[in-house]
Amino acid sequence: MILDGRELSKEIKENIKSKVELLEKKPRIDFLYFEDDKSTEVYFNRAKKSAESVGIIGKLHNLSANTSEKDFLTLIEYLNEEKETNGIMIQMPLPNHIDKKKVYETISADKDVDAISNINLGKIFLGEDKLIPCTVKSVLALLEKTKIKIEGANAVVVGRSDIVGKPLAHLLLQKSATVTIAHSKTKNLKEICKQADILCVSIGKAEFITEEYIKEGAVVIDIGINVLSDGSIKGDVKFDEISKFASFITPVPNGVGSVTVAMLLDNLLYLYNLQNNKMPANRRKI
Ligand code: NDP
């Protein structure tokens, strides 16, 4: 069965819109990206439009490719203190001249809408699931739609990025799946994937996962977004082949990515409420 993300995204956005309508002040999200990253530019422009469709202000910061690390961190520090904004979303991956660890340390946990800060990622690893990276939140919401029992399931996460693979694996573990994290150095990847009741793939390689990697009846979540030279978009999974064997499969486009933006707005609303309760995220009791 195809797990289409568009309907879920619509449901989430309608819910957010009705909540935003009740707020005295419109929430605002700031997007920071470098001018030479065209795919992030497309993504953030789309996210800004979605934000505006539910009454949230989106502000784009299109930075020169020459922006120094110092100036970039200063901008984040400024936005951390800026009362008019409630959330900061940062391009990932960052250009090579920006140390991602410094960014994770600098962004305020209270405005870290994609949960990349040391504090928010740390909380996830300690068992909290209130603020989690938007893509991971999207994957978990789609899994919930399948009604698959995560507890005790064999889950394989292929890809170990800080923002998708690692937090996703930890959250599945928290839900008591037996989790394997695979990456580019993993031996016997096919055999490992074939054990999976739930297979989540985030590697950025078009149609890498073929039918040989799939156990019949598995739930397959394809996170990859790969733009081919002809402009078409493919996931990391060979959809036509695998959809015959999987019990559920997310398409690309119209799968995980469709829900991710809705989850971004959902996270923003969470931060807005947190800020208006005047209690910093890093001091709240879990
Ligand atoms: P990264 O691009 O940062 O890293 C890729 C990961 O895949 C690494 O851990 C790498 O292993 C692993 N990998 C690469 N090749 C192989 C291989 N042949 N076999 C096994 N593992 C491999 O990961 P991201 O999670 O940031 O992005 C991955 C994809 O997801 C991209 O296509 C991106 O566009 C998409 N994406 C989609 C989102 C959405 O909302 N749908 C959001 C974020 C990303 P190693 O660590 O050993 O190098």
Atom in ligand 1 nearest the alpha carbon of residue 204: 32
Going by C-alpha positions, the residue among 135, 164, 150 that lies closest to residue 256 is: 135
* Atom number in ligand 1 closest to CA 203: 7
pLDDT band at residue 117 using 50, 70 and 90 as cut-offs? very high
**Ligand 1 touching residue 160 (CB < 6 A):** yes
Q: 3-state SS of the chain: helix, strand, coil percent to 5? A: 40, 15, 40
Upstream peptide bond of 253 is cis (omega within 30 degrees of 0)? yes
Residue with CA nearest ligand 1 atom 8: 159
Long-range contacts of 169-175 (CB under 8 A, 24+ apart): 170/124, 170/125, 171/124, 171/129, 171/132, 171/136, 171/140, 172/198, 172/200, 174/127, 174/129, 175/150, 175/151
Q: Which two tokens stand for residue 186?
A: 């993993």
How large a percentage of the chain has pLDDT more than 70?
Answer: 97
> pTM of the prediction?
0.94
Please give the average per-residue pLDDT across 95-103, as a whole number.
97
Residue 126 CA to residue 103 CA, distance in Å, equals 21
Q: How confident is the model at residue 286 (pLDDT cuts 50, 70, 90)?
A: very low
Tell whether ligand 1 has an atom less than 6 A from the beta carbon of residue 257: yes
* Band of residue 278 on the pLDDT scale cut at 50, 70, 90: low
Structure confidence at residue 38 (pLDDT) = 85
In this model, does residue 284 exceed pLDDT 70? Answer: no
Which two structure tokens, joined as six digits, stand for 256? Answer: 């995980």
Give the residue whose CA is nearest to atom 48 of ligand 1: 184
Ligand 1 mean position, distance from CA 26 (Å): 34
Cα 205 to middle of ligand 1, angstroms: 8
What domains are there in the chain, each with its CATH number?
A: 23-114 (3.40.50.10860), 134-257 (3.40.50.720)
Spatial separation of the C-alpha atoms in residues 234 and 191, rounded to whole Å: 24
**Which atom from ligand 1 is nearest to the alpha carbon of 223?**
41
Does any ligand 1 atom lie closer than 6 A to the CB of residue 158?
yes
